[in-house]
Chain A
Amino acid sequence: MSSRRSSRSRQSGSSRISDDQISDLVSKLQHLIPELRRRRSDKVSASKVLQETCNYIRNLHREVDDLSDRLSELLASTDDNSAEAAIIRSLLNY
């Protein structure tokens, strides 16, 4: 498999195809990331898009973490009869 990869990179034809694919994917990423979608200009460099993508994913991870924290607090009630516990459990189909 390794020899296949190095011989493929020497052929300009196939590397041009993947360059096009890459720039297409990068532009799709640009539209997906709120930070970059707001910018009207289309001229965001690939490097910037990828950097912002990393940051965006890390932010999403942090948000999931924070939401898990908050939910964990909400479910803290060990008293099954409390109204709060009942509300949360019904939201979660418990």
Chain B
Amino acid sequence: MQPTSSMKEEFLKKWQMGLEIVRPSIDNTNVSERKKAIKLSADVAMASLRKGTTCWSRALIQKSATEDNFLVRQVLSGIKAETLINKKLTKKVVCHRKIVRRSKKISRRKSRSASEEAAAKAKRIVKKRTQGLRSVVPGGEFMSNDVLLLQETLDYIVSLQTQVNVMRSIVDAAEAEIER
């Protein structure tokens, strides 16, 4: 599982498309506006790679649409842009936690062997770590299922690697050219 060259190519194309659209912000002399526009177009490009098939990409699309609706519509054109931007994400995990707490209270009343205790403790630690993951993966707070969260994380990482890979190539090449 690695960024493929076709993923990188598509990311670059979509990013270039986005940069063209946010050009007014790029040509703006304000440094922070410029950086925001560059980053936003990179994120929209990355999210569009998945064409709305993953939870993280849908969450990222919705978040980006609040910053620049037009940009998202243009880059996603043809991939059900309208529905992706407006589709309601499912309930947040908070509700689920209350139910887990309630069922934990019930199970504690039963007696447990040492190995069961160890397994339960390991599970609790894993649960804590997955909470950390939910905070860094877009839309993580809506992923109540741990299996889903891990699948999404894997895909998100490969996409991030693609994004970083291409951006790094461009920036390195540009800086090298300038220094000549």
Chain A residues within CB distance 8 Å of chain B: 2, 5-6, 9, 18, 21-22, 25-26, 28-29, 31-33, 46-47, 50-51, 53-54, 56-58, 60-61, 63-65, 67-76, 78, 84, 87-88, 91-94
A67 touches B158 (CB 8 A): no
Number of A-B contacts (CB under 8 A): 133
Q: How far is the CA of A61 from the CA of B16 in the complex (A)?
A: 20
Pair B175/A74 contact, Cβ less than 8 Å: yes
Could you tell me the distance between the alpha carbons of A69 and B170 in the complex, rounded to whole angstroms?
13
11 residue pairs of the A-B complex, CB under 8 angstroms, read: A25-B154, A31-B1, A46-B122, A54-B136, A57-B133, A57-B160, A61-B136, A64-B164, A68-B35, A73-B31, A87-B174
Q: Is B54 an interface residue (CB 8 A)?
A: no
Partner of A70, one of B95, B103, B175: B175
Least Cβ–Cβ distance between B38 and chain A, in angstroms: 5
Question: Are B38 and A54 in touch, CB under 8 angstroms?
Answer: no
Chain B count of residues within 8 A CB distance of the other chain: 51
Known A28-B1, A74-B174: A64·B42 in contact at CB below 8 Å: yes
Q: Which residues of A contact B132 (CB under 8 A)?
A: 50-51, 54
B126 touches A46 (CB 8 A): yes
Consensus secondary structure, chain A interface: helix
Q: Measured between C-beta atoms, what is the minimum distance from A86 to chain B in Å?
A: 10
Q: Is B67 interfacial (CB 8 A cutoff)? A: no
User: Known contacts A64-B163, A94-B19: does B171 contact A74 (CB below 8 Å)?
Assistant: yes
Residues of B within 8 A of A71 (CB): 38, 167, 170-171, 174
